[in-house]
Every structure is written in structure tokens, then in C-alpha cells.
Structure 1
Amino acid sequence: MAALARLSQALRVPLRVPLRSLTRDRRQLSAAAGHGHGEHSAKTWKILTFVVALPGVAVCMLNMYLKEQQHSHEQPEFIPYTHLRIRSKRFPWGDGNKSLFHNPHANALPDGYEGHDE
């Protein structure tokens, strides 16, 4: 404890903040809010939205579009690994072999992709 007190004095960080200073700070903050401070911050956030946020979203959309154009749409090769696609019991929907969000192009069944007789 003595080491903590010495460290706090060396860093000039008080261990305890007097209650009086907390109430004084609260009064200053509430007084500042009453003098048009909210209008200035609303204008700042509006400007930031149009100058930073919307162009940022547009750049992200452009990046996604360009990456999608380079992406190949071929199915990955099916390799029947024994530790993947284990069905210990049937799913309670459909034919019991497909997951709830099954995509026949991207998700293989235990014996291969649907519609491919290899």
C-alpha cells in the first residue's frame, strides 16, 4: 500500500477525488450544455456524416464490388474428409441431411455436391 501511495504521489494522481470537485464539474458541464453547445455539436456531427461517413461507405462498397468481380464462381473441389460433415442424427427439417441455411452451390453433403454424379 505504501508503494502505491508513493507511486501516486510521483505521478501526481490523487487516490481519492473530493466530492466537492465532482459536483463542481457536474455544474460546469450542465451550464455549458445550456448555452447553445448542442447546436454546435449537432452541426459538427452532420458535417462529419457527409464528409467522412458516407464517402467511407462508398469506398467500402466499391472495394466489395471490385473484389466480387475478381472472385471465381466455381465450386471448390470436393474432398471427402472423414472429420467433416458428420451426421450423428438427422436434422429435424427437410430431408434431414441438409443444414438449415443450406446452399447447394457452396455447401457439400457428406457424399458430395448436389447435382454432380462423379
Structure 2
Amino acid sequence: MANFGSLVLRRAFNVGRRQSSTYSGTAATAGGHGGGIKLWKRLSFFVALPGVGLCMLNAYLKHQEESHEQPEFVPYEHLRIRTKRFPWGDGKRSLFHNPHVNALPDGYEEVAHH
């Protein structure tokens, strides 16, 4: 029984020999890829796309399990330092401000829950 390394080398050598004889006097025929396109197309449709779908489903279910409670505000001096105002809005909120998660320097905003 041949080991895996010699089998791979033997196949690589045989593939190289077949390719050189293909181009030796005749033009390459269309579809001479040995089924590689069909293999990758099938892998894309039957492995990759279902895998992406399963990952999306897993992320959605994990998101549904999470508790969406507001973290406790602790007024640490080194956090939320503002040396100058932001150039938009009232100048207190960052560009991607989320009032449920991001606190202002003096605490969370009062947000009406619906």
C-alpha cells in the first residue's frame, strides 16, 4: 500500500504529462478542465450556500437569546472625556450614538420604551 505522499506525487506527475501531450500538436478543446467547473459549482450550491444559511440562522437565534438590558452607568473619570464638542447635532452624541447602550458623560438618556 502506497503512502499518501507518493500517491499525490504520482498523480501530479501524471497530470503534468497529460497536459503536455494535450498541447503537443492539437488545439485544446473546450471543456478540457476535467470537471473542475462542475465540482466548484456543486460545492458552491450544496456546501457553501447552506453553510452561510446555517451561520445566519445561528447568529439570529443567538441574538434572540440575549438579554437587552441597559448596562449600569458608572461615572468613571477616564471614560467619556470630551475636550471639544462633536460637529453634528447637539455636540454630546457620537456619530453612531445608541441611546440604549452608549451613555453621555452625565449618564444615560431617558428613552421611552414602546
TM range (shorter): 0.5 to 0.7
Mapped to 2, the partners of 1:102 and 1:52 lie a distance apart of 39
Mapped to 2, the partners of 1:50 and 1:85 lie a distance apart of 48
Q: How does 1:55-74 map to 2 (within 5 A)?
A: 55-74=50-69
Which residue of 77, 98, 101 maps to 1:106?
A: 101
Give the superposition deviation at 1:39: 7.4
Mapped to 2, the partners of 1:40 and 1:89 lie a distance apart of 63
Which residue of 70, 74, 78 maps to 1:83?
A: 78
Structure 2 residue 62 is matched with structure 1 residue 43:
no
Give the superposition deviation at 1:37: 3.6
Question: Where do 4+ consecutive residues of structure 1 move more than 3 Å?
Answer: none
Mapped to 1, the partners of 2:34 and 2:102 lie a distance apart of 53
Give the superposition deviation at 1:92: 0.6
Give the superposition deviation at 1:38: 4.3
Mapped to 2, the partners of 1:75 and 1:37 lie a distance apart of 61
| Matching residue's letter, 2:42 | I
Unaligned runs of 5+ in 1: 1-26
CA RMSD of aligned residues (A): 2.5
Give the superposition deviation at 1:41: 2.2
Identity of aligned residues (%): 66
Mapped to 2, the partners of 1:101 and 1:74 lie a distance apart of 19
| Matching residue's letter, 1:71 | E
Give the superposition deviation at 1:61: 1.2
Q: Give the count of matched residue pairs.
A: 89
Q: Deviation per CA, 1:73-112, whole angstroms, max 9, x where unpaired?
A: 1101111111111101111111011001111111110111
Greater helix share, structure number: 1
